[in-house]
Every structure is written in structure tokens, then in C-alpha cells.
Amino acid sequence: MPEAGAESHRRRGLSAGSHLLVQAGEYVCALPLRSVRRVLRALTVHPLPGATDELKGLAEFGGEPLPVLELARLVNAPAGGKAAYPVTIVVWVGPQDRRELVGLAADAALEVAEVHLHSVVAGDGGFILGEALVDGALVRVVNLEALGGEG
């Protein structure tokens, strides 16, 4: 008997379509797992004067300064309730040959799921690559490469 949906994904192991699902405000966002370096309890962030709303500030990660961005702001997600277990997800952004680390502040890390890129639709050309359904729920697939370059 064929396995259904998420359960079959979990048993097949990780693949190119593996994404980390995170809660950002009222949105669930999908981050390509190959770009995720670490998921941490929310790092202490030091705000910078004059920063845009998307930039929470600087944190320290592994002895290095790390810019931390507010994922919900990046994807224009409506604000959610107060996060019980906020996290900082350390990810690689930008093109492969010039990638750099940033932290993404999110409300929670949820699970790893398969997102088939051919099923992603209606990207905004910016930080959201598009939307897809995962186990019947809408997720926003984040374009981490777009985050690295100059705007």
C-alpha cells in the first residue's frame, strides 16, 4: 500500500527538494535545507541605527558578526501571536560563488518537508520564489539567493 504525503517524504530521506518549514508571523515559509546551516534559539540581537524594518540588527555567531533579518518582514507576513520558541535560522544567502551567512529571525522551526520546485507558483520576483502546497497547507518558498545581492 503506497504511503501518503508527508510520511513517505520523511521515510525517503533528504533530497534537493527538502525544505525547512518555519513560522513567520501568519505565514509558513520554506527554506531550502541545503542553505540552512544552523537553527538556534533566538540569538541576542543588537539593533543598528537607521536600519530598515527588515533588519533586526547584529548578533554574534561562532565568534563572527551576523546580520539578523526578520523573516516575517521580508515576506510581508501579517503579524502572528507572540512566539513561544523564537529561533534564529542561520542560512547561506546570495549566489553560490558569493554566498554569505545571515540569520533569519522566525517564530518557530516546524519540520522538514519536500517542496517540489515545479509545483511552486506565483512568485513575486523578490524574496518569495512562490507558493506551494505541503500536505494541503500553503507555504511561501523563500528565495535565499535573492537576499544576498544588492537591492
For other proteins, the closer CB: 34 or 99: 99
CB of 18 to other proteins, least distance (A): 23
Q: Does 65 bind other proteins (CB under 8 A)?
A: yes
Q: Between 23 and 52, how does the x/- string for binding to other proteins read (CB under 8 A)? A: -----------------------xxxxxxx
**Cβ of 50: how many Cβ atoms within 10 Å?**
6
Q: Does 10 bind other proteins (CB under 8 A)?
A: no
CB of 6 to other proteins, least distance (A): 32
Q: Between 71 and 100, how does the x/- string for binding to other proteins read (CB under 8 A)? A: ----------------------xx---x-x
Cβ-Cβ contacts under 8 Å for 3 (sequence gap 6 or more)? 11
Dihedral pair phi/psi, residue 123, rounded to 5°: -70, 155
Dihedral pair phi/psi, residue 125, rounded to 5°: 80, 0
For other proteins, the closer CB: 15 or 52: 52
User: How many whole angstroms separate alpha carbon 44 and alpha carbon 54?
Assistant: 16
CB of 17 to other proteins, least distance (A): 25
Q: Which of residues 108-147 bind other proteins (CB under 8 A)?
A: 147
Among 31, 69, 90, 106, binds other proteins (CB under 8 A): 69
CB contact at 8 A, 71 and 56: no
Burial code of 10-44, b = ≥16 C-beta within 10 A, e = fewer?
eeeeeeebbbbbbbbbebbbbbbbebbeebeebbe
CB contact at 8 A, 92 and 37: yes
Q: Where does this chain bind other proteins (CB under 8 A)?
A: 46-52, 54-55, 58-60, 63-67, 69, 93-94, 98, 100-102, 147-151
